[in-house]
A and B are shown apart, each in its own frame.
Chain A
Amino acid sequence: MKLTSTQVSPSEGFREAFILHLADNSLILGHRLSEWTGHGPMLEQDIAMSNIALDLIGQARNFYQYAAELINASKAPSFARPDDPVRRRESLSEVRLPEVTEDTLAYLREAKEFKNILLTELPNGDWAKTILKLFFFSTYQYFLYQKLIHSSDKQLSAIAEKSLKEVTYHLRWSSEWVIRLGDGTDESHNRIQTALDEVWGYTGEMFIPSDYEMQCAQTGIGVDVNLLKNDWDKKINEVLMEATLLSPKGERQGVRPIHNGKQGLHTEILETLLKEMQYLQRTYPGCEW
């Protein structure tokens, strides 16, 4: 397997890359959804969206904390054994890097280091588009976490177990909204149909594994995302049908999936998002409140 095809640097193992990918997905969509806070169409939905955003950011924290622990541990051994002459020489030549934390991972990485799928970074658009993105993503997380519970990595399994309960509510809530909008007024129907045609091309990326996902799936840490596709399709079709929405133009096989977020190649819109999200830490490094 060629390492050069991804942004995984030699010091960052497949496991760390996989965990960062999971964390980035949740953080970026969570941040997007939080943009609705104070702007929701009515108070209840404003609160619902903010609560879902909070769940996602909470999940991201769990993943980042774990990734930071692994990254720091992988740097540590060269300092640990001063009696070993080879290691000692290595450790002396090595510049001691500052500790990685959940905050440095979220707030101090560049866009090209983020491994989230492009669907999560797309601008919110109107309510219909936001709901649809969330519905596609929650369905994906729902099936992904069901499998990740069986990970040989105990911490990943624990995070999946915890998150799945929350995602079950997200999926239910977003499904109901897709149905309400699709089977609602002409205006709401048209809006969500337009959103569907626009967003659909971004859904394929979920099922195209990156090499770190493949490596992790093969070693029992991760999940083979290919295997999620049937369940995902089934659930999506069920809800779209109830929402009286037409299958997206050209079906998926005809649409070339828009992808590469997992490899760190993003749309320029992620830069804008990060500029806002990371502003405080970059302007006042280490600031707390």
Chain B
Amino acid sequence: MILSQNITVEKVWQLLENIYDPEIPVLSVIDLGIVRDVHLIKHPSNKEHIKVVITPTYSGCPAMDVISMNIKMALLQSGFKNSKIIQQLSPAWTTDWMTEKAKEKLKAYGIAAPLGKSFDKKHLEELKVECPQCRSKSTRLLSQFGSTACKALYQCNDCKEPFDYFKCH
């Protein structure tokens, strides 16, 4: 067990690599790009506390509360009792913060990764989303809203498999 005195900001970042999104269990909070900052705050009394700043993906995303709790638990398991998880709204989270590694992991999991950049309004137009199963580009939008708020539902015209597309946001 790591003693709390030995906790460093770097260690917290490492720890966060192992906190996964409960809805998409292949992505860590780092992959998703929702961790904005980690601070180690030393009090005059020599006590310390860790502050982790995260940005919610969607306003009503029920995974956020679970993620906050999981971060707190992981810190606790590493012997660190004093932690605060702060949710910060601005700047608003965007899929642009998702790592390339995350997009690869999504594909391997069967979810098409977000296309383009969020400032580019093309993401609201019809997109050529690649089927994560057979790699065909002949796909169609079934519904803008999929199994969770962050996904849309597509279907492949070739292999006929329906699949989730992580929306550009």
Contacts and interface: CB of A to CB of B under 8 A. Distances in A.
B147 interface: yes
A165 B149 CA distance: 12
Contacts of B79: none
A161 B145 contact: no
Quick one: which of B61, B148, B149, B153 has the most chain A CB within 10 A?
B149
Q: Which 7 A-B pairs have the closest CB atoms?
A: A58-B60, A58-B59, A158-B90, A44-B143, A48-B145, A54-B60, A158-B89
Contact of A61 (B59, B88, B147): B59
Contacts of B88: 158
Q: How large is the interface on B (under 10, 10 to 19, 20 to 34, 35 or more residues)?
A: 20 to 34
A162 B143 contact: no
B92 A48 contact: no
A166 B92 CA distance: 11
A198 B59 CA distance: 31
Given A154-B90, A168-B124, A172-B124, A48 B143 contact: yes
Contact of B145 (A51, A56, A61, A168): A51
B86 interface: no
A130 interface: no
B59 A62 contact: yes
Interface majority SS (helix, strand, loop, mixed), chain A:
helix
A161 B89 contact: yes
A226 B59 CA distance: 27
Contacts, number: 74
A55 B142 contact: no
Interface in A124-174: 154-155, 157-159, 161-163, 165-166, 168-169, 172-173
B146 interface: yes
A2 B44 CA distance: 50
A206 B88 CA distance: 29
B60 A161 contact: no
Given A48-B144, A58-B59, 13 more contacts: A47-B153, A48-B145, A55-B149, A58-B56, A58-B58, A59-B60, A161-B89, A161-B90, A163-B59, A165-B94, A165-B118, A168-B124, A173-B144
Contact of A162 (B89, B145, B148, B153): B89
Nearest to B152: A169
B148 to A, nearest CB: 8
B142 A162 contact: no
A52 B59 contact: no
11 contacts: A45-B143, A47-B146, A47-B153, A54-B60, A58-B61, A154-B90, A155-B89, A162-B56, A162-B93, A169-B144, A169-B145
A264 B3 CA distance: 55
Contacts of B145: 44, 47-48, 51-52, 169, 173
Interface in A27-68: 44-45, 47-48, 51-52, 54-59, 61-62
Interface string B72-105: 0000000000000000111111100000000000
